[in-house]
C-alpha cells in the first residue's frame, strides 16, 4: 500500500546540512499497522511527511495506493492527499470551531454539500465515540477526546491510509491505551492501513503488525513483528526485553531464548534440564503480550562451554525457539551463533 524506495531528504540551514532521511526503503502492506520506532532526531517525522509530500524528498520514490505522488500534477496531488489522513501529537484543532466544526472543515474544503456534510460529520463522530460532544469547543474536552476529533477529521475524506505522527505522545497511559484501541478497531473495521511514528515501545507492542527501527536517517531493522523479535541480534527484541548484564563465568554457556506464540506455552527449561540432567540457571527474562501473541525472552546459563552444549542448543532450536549464544568474553554480549 505504501512503497518507499531509496528515499533521501536533506535540510540546509545556515550553512549546515542535515541528512534527515538517508536512503530508506520501506513497504507497508495493505491493511497493516506499521510502526517506525526511533529516538528524537532520528528522522521519523521527515520520513512520514515525505509520504504525503508535506516534505519533498531530494531523491527516491514514494508510491501510495499505486500512485507515485511526486509525479502527479498539483490538482491530482491534492485529491490523492485527501485519501491519506494524518493525525498529530498536538492534535492541530481549530480552537474557534466546535468539535463538529473541526470535523466538517476538510469536507468544506472538498466542497461537500451542507446536508451531506452534516450527515458525514455525525457518522464520523459516532465512529470515534464523540457524538455527545459535537457542540463542545476544543478547550472544553480532554486530550484523548481532542485526539478523537483529530482522528475523525483525518477520516473525513475516506482515506485508505492514515499517517500518525506521535499521536499518543501527549497522552497519559490510560488514554494512550484507549486511542490505540480505537486505531486498531478502525484498522480492522475500515481496512485502514496505518503508518505511525513513535518513540514509545508500548505503541509498537500494542498495535503494530510490522515495525522498523530508525536511527540517524536509516532503518536499521524492519519487518513483521514476530519475525523481527525472533531474528537473532534483533535490537527490537533487546529493547522490548532488556535482560540483565551478567559477569562472564568461564566454563558456562549463556543463551538468550526468544519464544513467540505456542512455543511460549511449552516448559522448555524443565524439558532441557530433564533431558540432559543438567542444572539450568535462569538469569533473567520477561513475557509480554505483543498484539495478540505472547512473546518471551529468557537469558539462561548452562554448565559447560558452547561446544559442549551443541546437543542442548539443538534441543532448544528443535522446539521452535530462537537461540542466541552470547560471547562470554565480550564485555557487552555479542551474538556469536
Ligand atoms: N525543517 C527543518 N529544517 C532543518 N532541519 C530539520 C528540519 N526538520 C527536521 N530537521 C532535522 O532533521 C533531523 C530529523 O528530524 P525529524 O524531526 O525528522 O526527527 P524525528 O525522529 O521525528 O525527531 P522528533 O521526534 O524529535 O521530531 C533532525 O536533526 C532535525 O533537526
**Domains of the chain, earliest start first:** 2-230 (3.40.50.300), 241-326 (3.30.70.260)
Residue 121 backbone dihedrals phi, psi, to 5 degrees = -60, -45
pTM (2 d.p.): 0.87
pLDDT at 173: 93
Atom of ligand 1 minimally distant from the CA of 12? 4
User: Ligand 1 centre and the CA of 153: distance in Å?
Assistant: 25
- Taken in order 262, 198, 64, 47, the sign of the CA dihedral is negative
How does residue 264 score in pLDDT terms, banded at 50, 70 and 90? low
How much is the pLDDT for 328?
Answer: 61
What's the gap in Å between 74 CA and the centre of ligand 1? 26
User: How many angstroms separate the Cα of 3 from the Cα of each of 6, 217, 222, 224, 330?
Assistant: 10, 17, 13, 15, 39
Confidence (pLDDT) at 25: 97
Q: Which residue has the cell 551478567?
A: 246
User: Which pLDDT tens digit goes with each residue over 156-213?
Assistant: 999 999 999 999 998 999 999 999 999 999 999 999 999 999 999 889 989 999 999 9
ipTM: 0.95
| Cα distance between residue 331 and residue 160, in whole Å | 48
**Rounded-to-integer distance, Cα 217 and Cα 211, Å:** 15
Q: Which atom of ligand 1 is nearest to the CA of 13?
A: 4
Amino acid at each position: 500500500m505504501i512503497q518507499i524506495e531509496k528515499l533521501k531528504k536533506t535540510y540546509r540551514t545556515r550553512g549546515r546540512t542535515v541528512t534527515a532521511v538517508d536512503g530508506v526503503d520501506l513497504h507497508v502492506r495493505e491493511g497493516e499497522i506499521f510502526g517506525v520506532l526511533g529516538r528524537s532526531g532520528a528522522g521519523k517525522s521527515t520520513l512520514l511527511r515525505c509520504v504525503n509530500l508535506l516534505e519533498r524528498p531530494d531523491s527516491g520514490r514514494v508510491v501510495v495506493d499505486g500512485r507515485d505522488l511526486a509525479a502527479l500534477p498539483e490538482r491530482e496531488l491534492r485529491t490523492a492527499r485527501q485519501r491519506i489522513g494524518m493525525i498529530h501529537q498536538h492534535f492541530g484543532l481549530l480552537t474557534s470551531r466546535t468539535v463538529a466544526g473541526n470535523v466538517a472543515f476538510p469536507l468544506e474544503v472538498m466542497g461537500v454539500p451542507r446536508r451531506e456534510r452534516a450527515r458525514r460529520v455525525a457518522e464520523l463522530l459516532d465512529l470515534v465515540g464523540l457524538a455527545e460532544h459535537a457542540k463542545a469547543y476544543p478547550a472544553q474536552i480532554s486530550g484523548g477526546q481532542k485526539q478523537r476529533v483529530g482522528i475523525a477529521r483525518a477520516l473525513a475524506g475516506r482515506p485508505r491510509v492514515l499517517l500518525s505522527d506521535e499521536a499518543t505522545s501527549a497522552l497519559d497511559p490510560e488514554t494512550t491505551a484507549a486511542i490505540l484501541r480505537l486505531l486498531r478497531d478502525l484498522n480492522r473495521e475500515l481496512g485502514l492501513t496505518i503508518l505511525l511514528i513513535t518513540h514509545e515501545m508500548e505503541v509498537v507492542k500494542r498495535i503494530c503488525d510490522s515495525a522498523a527501527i530508525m536511527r540517524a536517517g536509516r532503518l536499521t531493522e524492519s519487518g513483521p513483528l514476530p519475525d523481527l523479535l525472533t531474528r537473532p541480534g534483533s535490537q527490537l527484541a533487546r529493547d522490548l526485553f532488556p535482560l540483565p548484564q551478567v559477569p562472564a563465568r568461564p566454563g558456562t554457556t549463556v543463551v538468550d531464548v526468544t519464544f513467540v506464540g505456542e512455543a511460549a506455552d511449552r516448559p522448555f527449561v524443565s524439558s532441557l534440564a530433564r533431558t540432559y540432567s543438567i542444572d539450568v540457571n535462569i538469569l533473567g527474562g520477561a513475557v509480554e503480550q505483543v498484539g495478540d501473541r505472547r512473546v518471551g525472552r529468557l537469558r539462561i546459563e548452562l554448565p559447560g562451554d558452547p561446544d559442549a552444549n551443541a546437543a542442548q542448543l539443538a534441543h532448544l532450536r528443535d522446539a521452535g525457539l530462537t537461540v542466541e549464544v552470547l560471547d562470554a568474553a565480550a564485555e557487552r554480549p555479542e551474538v556469536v551463533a
